Each structure stands twice: as C-alpha cells, then as structure tokens.
Amino acid sequence: MTTLFPTYKRFNLSVERASGTIVEDTNGKTYLDFGAGIGVCSLGHRHPDVQQALESQLNTYWHVSNLYHNPIQEKVADALIRNSSGDQVFFCNSGTEANEAAIKLARKATGKHKIISFEQSFHGRTFGAMAATGQEKIHSGFGPMLEGFSYAPFNDIDAVKQAIDNDTAVVMMEMIQGEGGIHIADPEFVQELVQLCRQNDVLLMVDEVQTGIGRTGKPFAYQHYSVSPDIITSAKALGNGVPVGAMIAKESLHDAFGPGSHAATFGGNPLAMAAAQAVLKHVFQDDFLQEVAEKGTYLSQRLSESVGNFSGVSAIRGKGLMIGIECHQDVSPLVGRLLDEGLLVLSAGSNIIRLLPPLTVSEKEIDTAIQLIGDALMD
C-alpha cells in the first residue's frame, strides 16, 4: 500500500545507504551502481569533498532569497563560464526548469517564437520542455502542446532546413540523446546545423542535462564538436545528488533577461551551490576528464569484446562513460535480472541498456559489471 502517485514503475529495491559506486539495500545486500541515480551521482555517492562542502554550508546559512547578492552563485557561475562558450548563468533546480529558462530566453531575445527540436529527444516534463520533447508518448493525454514546436529527424539536415523559417527562434538538441537511446549527433550534421542557424539568425541551444559535467570526458559533450552554442542547459550531475539546474548563455543574450523576466525562489540555493562548487572543482580538471575518457574507452572496448558479437546485441554506442547496448529485444527482464545479481543499470527506449556509472568508477568495478552483463546476456 502506497500513498504516492504511481508515476514511476519501481524495481523492488529500497536503499539503506550508499557510498562511492556501492548501494546497500534494507536487507544488507550490496549493488554496483552503474546508473548513478540517472547520471546524477557522477562523483559517486556521498563524495567526501561534496559532503564536506555541504556540512560547512549547513553551519553558515541555508537560504536568503535572490533579493540579495550571493557570492557562491558567482563562483559556480564562473566555473561554468570558464569551461563553456557561455558568459552568464541563471540558476534553477532541475533539468526541465533549465530548459524552460532557455525557451523563454530564446523567445524573448529573438522576438521569434518557433522552436525546432528532434524526434526521440528528451527535454523534461513541464509544459515548455515537454512540448520540446519529440516523443508522442510523453505528450499523450495532456491536451494541446504549446504552440510553435516542431520535431526533425535526428541527424537529418534537410529536415531542419525545411522546418526553419523567419519565425524560428532556436534549435534545441542533445549532442547524445540520452533517454532516446544513446544516439550520437553526427559531426557533419552539427557543422551544417551551425551554418544553417547562423544564416537564418536562429539560436543554437544544447541540452547538456545528461551529457554535461564531465560525463563524456569533456566538461560538456558539445566540446567534442567545433560548435559554440548560444545556450547550454545543465542539471543532473551538477550537484552530485543535491537538486540544481543552470542555464548558461552568451553575452549577446544578456539584455533579454532583465529584472522581472524570470526567477526561481530556490534557484542558486546556497546548499545546492556549495555542492555544485565542490563538484566543478573536482570534475573540471584536465587529468580527471582524461581519466573519464580513458575509462570510457576501456568500458566500450571490453564490452565490445565480451558481448559485441552476441546475437541478441545489435550495437554498442557511446562517448566517455555514457554507453548504450542496443539489443534486439525488450531489455526490462535483463535490467531486473542484473539488479538481482547486484548490478544497477538503466534502460533507454525499450531495447537499450544504458550505463551511466559514476565517473569515479574503478577498472575493477568495470570488469565486474562487464562480467555480470555478459552472463545475463548469454542466457
């Protein structure tokens, strides 16, 4: 009996405690966590630096409102700007909120209202971000979507050309579609898209909610391409488990968001900022990111060797520590079996196993996970 809305299909696991890559349930059974709370706990559970930053902030103050200056917000914003194409930041509390801010900014700055996004994309569950999400099943039952949204097939430049007109404000994309099945943007497509946007005075907005904060071995996944987005959104891993979101935008958009344009009571909350500051200090370092890239290559290669030629597996895709194993069948029984065996993994779509281990994962943990995945797929 539960008094919660049944909005989630939950696995039979109740967590008692967690540390690093390990989660322990209420029966004392332990699991290797290769989902990291859906790409949130990127430094592992209760990373000591983040914990210390939170404890220290708990002893000073928790909240004062955005009516006053907030030096920690400035510091986190500086770290985001130094590691991206953006020049200023708006803080909020989640991915969908970051995308709402981006949609509002794009419309206000351009004076245009149309938004092009992609089929199988995922941008969140509130009305603007839901409208931007190119998945019918997510719109279903919620009446008319917001006006002005359309969806092009991913990596299809001709479709974007056809969709763009004088009312187009922004093209919104994930460099690697996460929920949609680990589909990677084609570099040539991105290049042509940049040109197309420039020619038509259309902004480019990259949703880095899942791919950002080191997940792919760069601060943001767009940095694998030669592109300089006008707007970037971040959330998930930014607080390593403390709710926080951010919208980062270029200087040219500065004046569109003046006092009264947009706000969030909890945006830039000091506890969230303390966590984010500790996260960014750790993640945005060349040697750390280099290790993420190397571990990603190791994981992909070992996976390909051990399960790549299984008849049930059709493809292995990914970048850094964001990896999808596409199967011919529905993977939910497999995800359930791996949980029984002590490995937490995610799915994407119906037939893709998605791995988002903490970026701090060890080679030994990767080996254990591959062994378990191989055994499960074998059966």
Ligand X SMILES: *Cc1c(COP(=O)(O)O)cnc(C)c1O
Binding site for ligand X (CB under 6 A): 94-96, 99, 122-124, 174, 178-179, 207, 209-210, 235-236
DSSP letter for 342, please: T
**Least spacing, CB of residue 121 vs ligand X, in Å:** 8
Complex with ligand X: residue 38 or 159, whichever CB lies closer: 38
**Least spacing, CB of residue 264 vs ligand X, in Å:** 13
Tokens found for residue 79: 């770290």
Complex with ligand X: residue 95 or 296, whichever CB lies closer: 95
Region class of 239: left (phi > 0), else alpha (psi between -120 and 50), else beta: alpha
Q: Is the dihedral of CA 333, 338, 343, 347 positive or negative?
A: negative
**Least spacing, CB of residue 98 vs ligand X, in Å:** 8
Alpha carbon distance 299, 215 (integer Å) = 13
**Least spacing, CB of residue 69 vs ligand X, in Å:** 27
Complex with ligand X: residue 269 or 372, whichever CB lies closer: 269
**Least spacing, CB of residue 188 vs ligand X, in Å:** 22
Give the helix/strand (H/E) hosting 91: strand 88-92
Give the helix/strand (H/E) hosting 24: strand 22-25
Complex with ligand X: residue 122 or 220, whichever CB lies closer: 122
Q: What is the DSSP string of 57-70?
A: HHTT-S---TTS--
Q: Is the dihedral of CA 234, 214, 29, 50 positive or negative?
A: negative
Q: Cβ atoms within 10 A of the Cβ of 133, count?
A: 27
Complex with ligand X: residue 174 or 230, whichever CB lies closer: 174
**Least spacing, CB of residue 124 vs ligand X, in Å:** 4
Alpha carbon distance 268, 101 (integer Å) = 14
Residue closest to ligand X when measured from CB atoms: 95
Complex with ligand X: residue 178 or 217, whichever CB lies closer: 178
